[in-house]
Chain A
Amino acid sequence: MEVRFKLNGKEEEVTTEPYLRLIDLLRDYFNLTGTKEGCGVGECGACTVLMNGRAVNSCLVLAAQANDSEIVTIEGIAEGEVLSSLQKNFLTYGAVQCGFCTPGMVLSASALLDQNPNPTEEEIKDAIAGNLCRCTGYKQIIEAVKETAKETIE
């Protein structure tokens, strides 16, 4: 079946099978391997992408459901070599260790900051509660998001 959608700012049109998941379309067809699969059941959040500005688990979304929507993956966050302020703060505050959860984490936090530029610590924790990280204990991730919000407000 035909699926038309905007992917990282670019109009795309692909023919896909009805059972294919969005994560497979992104990784296997578009070679956007920044989107990771950690559990396949929507628990770990490593496959998080933005769908019309909302963070979704791309392992729970069918490729066909992306029709007419706007998808942003981790590859669409930086502008060339220029990192977003959230990405920069992930580095500055040590929010990255093994880096496997990082793409999903950055996207969940981006979705939060887009909808709520000045979140409380509780709201930050809520926004990333669906993204599991086994390395960092989340503290430096929360710091990075907090600092990004502060910079944006200033």
Chain B
Amino acid sequence: MNEEFSVVGKKIIREDGFDKVTGQAKFGDDYKFDGMLHSVMLRISEAHAKINSIDFSAIEKSEFLFSIITSADIPGTKKVGMIKNDQLVFCDEKVVTPGDVLAMLVGESESQLRSLLSKIKVDYTPLPVLNDPKKSLDKDSILIHPETGTNLIVHHPLRKGDIEKGFSESDEILEQTYTTQLVEHSYIEPEAVIAIPLGTSQGVKIIGSIQNPFTTRRFVANVLNLPLTKVRVHQAHLGGSFGGKDDTMCILSARAAVAAMKTNRPVKIRYTREESILESYKRHPYILNYKVGYAKNGKIKAMKVDILADGGAYVSMSPFVTWRTVVQATGPYEIENVHTDVRAVYTNNPYTGAMRGFGSPQPIFAQESLMDEIAARLRMTPDEIRRVNGLKVGSVTATGQILKDHEVNLVRVLDVACGNTDFITKWKRNKKKKSIAVELNSLSPILNDSQFIKQNDLIKKGIGLAVSFRGCSLGAEGTDAAAAYISIQNDGSVYLDCGLAENGQGLRTTYSIIASEVLGITTDKIIYLELDTGITPDSGPTVASRSTLMGGGAVKNAAEILLERLEKFVKAEFKLGEDDFVSFRENLVFSRRKGLIAKFPEVCKLAYSRGVSLASIGWYKSPNVYWDEEFGQGDAYFTYVYGCQVAEVSVNIATGEVYIDKITAVHDPGKVINRLGAEGQVYGGVTQGAGYGIFEEITTDKGFIRELNFDTYTIPTSKDIDEIKPIFIEGKDSYGPWGAKSLGEPTLELTAAAISNAVCNALGKRFFNLPLNLEEVLLSKKLRPADIKRGSLL
């Protein structure tokens, strides 16, 4: 089906696969160095407290202790942050959330150091704790960071058209409130980093499970007060990240670096799972209020959205996460009048930041639930209401952007998804006129005779769908460019590197395919270099599903520079006519007139001997975007992708269990580069999305996380989803390598919404609060330990 391509679009095996299936691949904690010290963190059991003093006298003489690292050891900035410097590397004045670290002990053995922690005397004054984000903006609320004068982290308004006029022109108005929960990234590898002192002239080297080496470098350089060049960050194999090994790893790297500089020894920090969940940031819980006005034909006239995000104790990425939310809050629908406010606020809860989806799964759950509810009220099918309102070429988005320069495949992915699943027939068959959910009375939570469920009537089938559009890459968040480096050796083998970091998703393989396609060589000729900030050009972070689009663009550019150089050289060297045409295929070089003229290595050897440079740096910069802060208007992203997922579920009406029979995931990621990797993104993203939809939840008690390990925080296993079917619609686009765009995040953002709509189809009852765990489905409430008394559900 890809006749014009030799490698692009095929199923290509990972370039790091061999090392990973044999255990040879080295992750952060697998590195050891002579004289390396270990470290443990000092914390207190408080979510909010003023630290009066820390008394280390009881441990100072311990043989287990090599050094105590505190804020006083930091030569540079003591506060760091992705966007705002509000997070202390060592919180020696105040803690604002339970994960906060006061100081660090360094010594030969982790277990010996741990035995010292309880002997340190911390004198502190507990402060009132703020856990409810709804109270953060109250006039009398305590302030988490008093110096800022407010608990408001950010407010993104969006105003389009005339909202009141839109409501007055509507036939019906519907208002609903939705909530989504705090969830953990759950990368299987906990955080690990080693800092190695390199001496006065070279600075420090950092090796670790780092998502974004260039961001880590900035943090460490600021904390050590060193120029960027004196901090070299080397990325180890990364055991999963999903947006989660950014801030946390930057701060851990800074702590390790401070200790390494003080002790002049390599220092390793590695976290247990409990520490990882305790300190790392999570996905924002949202409270979403939607008011929508629509005509009897289904056309939405006006949508008013008010969203509150719990940012926890630090700003982190909240301003960017909620910015994506404000752009996409009204969904992939053309609506004339929109009025949106998205706010993020401080609390003493665990802080929240980037996680795969990045501010989209929450509004998608709300807006896709809402669309189904409108459809039900108007006796339309879920696909009909979306066809009436869905974005098409030339549509104007909520931010006033006209969609152009790419195929706007929203309706197409919807059609393919419905056709492939026989959606309408199944949806109509399962549809319930009224709720068949068993309603338990919380005062007497026992079924009465009329509620008796026959064994063969336990399981109800349901089908539901959700659609989305998603802006690709960073958009108006910031500068968006990437660089790649290719160096062809005189034997025809090739080094490849890019400033974007492998996160496990397979970008190195994708880049190898792109270079291989352009240069006409097989992928086994390419060695992908480890990312080292001392060698690789800065390309911004591996976030926002931008790697294939931006880094891929840079790799293609680097390869094309070399291809052009080689073509010119071959023409001259082999005395080909000006009108002849040189092509490179499968490690061979052809002339249109003379046929095969040389092998690729021969050409490289010749070119090298003639002094032709065989190295190049490629660059890819996004087109400019525009954003008006006051009205939330502008061309937010330079291009978009579209997706539709259909969930088919079996709901046990006696237990509330939702079992996922099948998810059909139809995505337009633009051109697919590695089919194997693309399918892997869908399987993985859908599975994470399903966990978000039906059982994952971090709960807190006065800011303290209850689920600190995988025994209580359950993520999907091999047995939780029966079937996932990926389908790609490869829409044309003028950006990215051959029009390749984004896939990683779109795969996750739709699943919970589709599942919720499917459960509604099965039971005739709508859900407003994620996750749809047993008690939500059965009791329409979330049970907390405090709610459960022996023998009662009161």
List residues of A whose CB falls within 8 A of some B CB.
31-41, 43-44, 46, 73-75, 77-78, 83, 87, 90-94, 96-103, 106, 124-126, 128-142
Query: What residues of chain A lie closer than 8 Å to B239, measured between beta carbons?
Result: 36, 98-100
Q: Which of B17, B241, B711 is A91 in contact with, Cβ under 8 Å?
A: B17
Q: Which residue of B lies closest to A136 (CB)?
A: B684
A85 to chain B, nearest CB (A): 11
- 5 shortest interchain CB distances as A-B pairs: A34-B23, A98-B504, A100-B239, A99-B20, A137-B683
A-B contact count (CB 8 A): 173
Q: Which of B13, B240, B709 is A41 in contact with, Cβ under 8 Å?
A: B709
- Interface core residue of A38, A90, A101, A131 (most chain B CB under 10 Å): A38
Instruction: Tell me whether A102 and B21 are in contact (CB under 8 A).
Output: yes
B183 to chain A, nearest CB (A): 12
Per the bound structure, the CA–CA distance linking A141 and B506 in Å amounts to 16
- Interface core residue of B11, B188, B237 (most chain A CB under 10 Å): B188
Instruction: Tell me whether B710 and A39 are in contact (CB under 8 A).
Output: yes
B26 within 8 A of A: yes
Instruction: Tell me whether B188 and A43 are in contact (CB under 8 A).
Output: no
* New contact pairs (11) apart from A73-B23, A94-B13, CB-CB < 8 Å: A34-B23, A36-B27, A38-B190, A74-B23, A94-B11, A99-B25, A124-B718, A129-B719, A131-B718, A136-B687, A140-B683
Contacts known (A78-B22, A100-B240, A136-B683); A38 close to B718, Cβ less than 8 A: no
Contact bitstring B2-24, A, C-beta under 8 A = 1, else 0: 00000000010110111111111
Query: What residues of chain B lie closer than 8 Å to A32, measured between beta carbons?
Result: 23
B724 within 8 A of A: yes
Per the bound structure, the CA–CA distance linking A82 and B190 in Å amounts to 30
Instruction: Tell me whether A132 and B22 are in contact (CB under 8 A).
Output: no
B238 to chain A, nearest CB (A): 6
Q: Which of B21, B676, B715, B716 is A87 in contact with, Cβ under 8 Å?
A: B21
Contacts known (A91-B21, A125-B718, A129-B718); A99 close to B16, Cβ less than 8 A: yes
Contacts known (A41-B710, A41-B711, A135-B504); A98 close to B189, Cβ less than 8 A: yes
Per the bound structure, the CA–CA distance linking A137 and B688 in Å amounts to 8
Q: Which residue of A lies closest to B273 (CB)?
A: A39
Counting contact residues on chain B (CB < 8 A from A), the size range is 35 or more
Contacts known (A41-B709, A92-B13, A138-B718); A33 close to B30, Cβ less than 8 A: yes
Per the bound structure, the CA–CA distance linking A46 and B239 in Å amounts to 11
Contacts known (A125-B719, A133-B188); A96 close to B17, Cβ less than 8 A: yes
Per the bound structure, the CA–CA distance linking A137 and B583 in Å amounts to 40
List residues of B whose CB falls within 8 A of some A CB.
11, 13-14, 16-27, 29-30, 32, 185-190, 237-242, 272-273, 503-506, 676-677, 679-680, 682-688, 709-711, 715-719, 721, 724
Instruction: Tell me whether A134 and B17 are in contact (CB under 8 A).
Output: no
Instruction: Tell me whether A40 and B273 are in contact (CB under 8 A).
Output: yes
Q: Is the interface of A mostly helix, strand, loop or mixed?
A: loop
Query: What residues of chain A lie closer than 8 Å to B273, measured between beta carbons?
Result: 38-41, 44
Contacts known (A32-B23, A33-B23); A43 close to B688, Cβ less than 8 A: no
- Interface core residue of A35, A37, A103 (most chain B CB under 10 Å): A37
B426 to chain A, nearest CB (A): 22
Instruction: Tell me whether B189 and A97 are in contact (CB under 8 A).
Output: no
Per the bound structure, the CA–CA distance linking A84 and B790 in Å amounts to 53
Per the bound structure, the CA–CA distance linking A38 and B23 in Å amounts to 15
Query: What residues of chain B lie closer than 8 Å to A35, measured between beta carbons?
Result: 23
Per the bound structure, the CA–CA distance linking A41 and B273 in Å amounts to 9
A31 to chain B, nearest CB (A): 8
Instruction: Tell me whether A96 and B505 are in contact (CB under 8 A).
Output: no
Per the bound structure, the CA–CA distance linking A33 and B22 in Å amounts to 11
Instruction: Tell me whether A40 and B188 are in contact (CB under 8 A).
Output: no
Instruction: Tell me whether A98 and B238 are in contact (CB under 8 A).
Output: yes
Q: Is the interface of B mostly helix, strand, loop or mixed?
A: loop
Per the bound structure, the CA–CA distance linking A36 and B718 in Å amounts to 19
Per the bound structure, the CA–CA distance linking A74 and B23 in Å amounts to 6
B213 to chain A, nearest CB (A): 16
Instruction: Tell me whether B718 and A90 are in contact (CB under 8 A).
Output: no
Per the bound structure, the CA–CA distance linking A85 and B190 in Å amounts to 30
Query: What residues of chain B lie closer than 8 Å to A103, measured between beta carbons?
Result: 21, 23
Instruction: Tell me whether B724 and A100 are in contact (CB under 8 A).
Output: no
Per the bound structure, the CA–CA distance linking A22 and B679 in Å amounts to 36
A144 to chain B, nearest CB (A): 10
Contacts known (A75-B22, A98-B239); A39 close to B718, Cβ less than 8 A: no
Query: What residues of chain B lie closer than 8 Å to A73, measured between beta carbons?
Result: 23
Q: Which of A31, A83, A94 is B18 in contact with, Cβ under 8 Å?
A: A83
Instruction: Tell me whether B717 and A132 are in contact (CB under 8 A).
Output: yes
Query: What residues of chain A lie closer than 8 Å to B187, measured between beta carbons?
Result: 98, 100, 134
Instruction: Tell me whether B721 and A137 are in contact (CB under 8 A).
Output: yes
Instruction: Tell me whether A137 and B26 are in contact (CB under 8 A).
Output: no
Contacts known (A96-B17, A98-B187); A87 close to B240, Cβ less than 8 A: no
Q: Which residue of B lies closest to A43 (CB)?
A: B710
Instruction: Tell me whether B719 and A135 are in contact (CB under 8 A).
Output: no
Q: Which residue of B lies closest to A139 (CB)?
A: B683
Per the bound structure, the CA–CA distance linking A74 and B19 in Å amounts to 11
Query: What residues of chain A lie closer than 8 Å to B721, measured between beta carbons?
Result: 137-138
Query: What residues of chain B lie closer than 8 Å to A128, measured between beta carbons?
Result: 718
Query: What residues of chain A lie closer than 8 Å to B505, measured between beta carbons?
Result: 97-98, 135
Contacts known (A38-B189, A44-B710, A94-B677); A138 close to B20, Cβ less than 8 A: no
Contacts known (A43-B709, A92-B13, A129-B719); A97 close to B687, Cβ less than 8 A: no
Q: Which of B22, B679, B711 is A83 in contact with, Cβ under 8 Å?
A: B22
Instruction: Tell me whether A38 and B684 are in contact (CB under 8 A).
Output: no
Q: Which of A46, A97, A125 is B680 in contact with, Cβ under 8 Å?
A: A97
Per the bound structure, the CA–CA distance linking A25 and B19 in Å amounts to 22
A102 to chain B, nearest CB (A): 5
Per the bound structure, the CA–CA distance linking A140 and B710 in Å amounts to 23
Q: Which of B22, B27, B506, B718 is A97 in contact with, Cβ under 8 Å?
A: B506
Per the bound structure, the CA–CA distance linking A134 and B273 in Å amounts to 15
Instruction: Tell me whether B14 and A142 are in contact (CB under 8 A).
Output: no
Contacts known (A41-B273, A43-B711, A138-B683); A34 close to B22, Cβ less than 8 A: yes
Per the bound structure, the CA–CA distance linking A98 and B27 in Å amounts to 10
Per the bound structure, the CA–CA distance linking A122 and B488 in Å amounts to 48
Per the bound structure, the CA–CA distance linking A91 and B677 in Å amounts to 11
Q: Which residue of A lies closest to B688 (CB)?
A: A134
Per the bound structure, the CA–CA distance linking A128 and B718 in Å amounts to 7
Query: What residues of chain A lie closer than 8 Å to B685, measured between beta carbons?
Result: 137
Per the bound structure, the CA–CA distance linking A96 and B15 in Å amounts to 11
Instruction: Tell me whether A134 and B23 are in contact (CB under 8 A).
Output: no
Instruction: Tell me whether B21 and A90 are in contact (CB under 8 A).
Output: yes
B510 to chain A, nearest CB (A): 12
Instruction: Tell me whether B22 and A77 are in contact (CB under 8 A).
Output: yes
Instruction: Tell me whether B719 and A83 are in contact (CB under 8 A).
Output: no
Query: What residues of chain A lie closer than 8 Å to B23, measured between beta carbons?
Result: 32-35, 73-75, 103
Instruction: Tell me whether B189 and A36 are in contact (CB under 8 A).
Output: yes
Q: Which of B16, B26, B240 is A33 in contact with, Cβ under 8 Å?
A: B26
Instruction: Tell me whether B680 and A136 are in contact (CB under 8 A).
Output: yes
Per the bound structure, the CA–CA distance linking A98 and B711 in Å amounts to 22
Q: Which of B13, B503, B686, B715 is A132 in contact with, Cβ under 8 Å?
A: B715
Query: What residues of chain A lie closer than 8 Å to B711, measured between beta carbons?
Result: 39, 41, 43
Query: What residues of chain B lie closer than 8 Å to A99, measured between beta carbons?
Result: 16, 19-21, 25, 237, 239, 504
- Interface core residue of B187, B503, B685, B710 (most chain A CB under 10 Å): B710
Query: What residues of chain B lie closer than 8 Å to A133, measured between beta carbons?
Result: 188
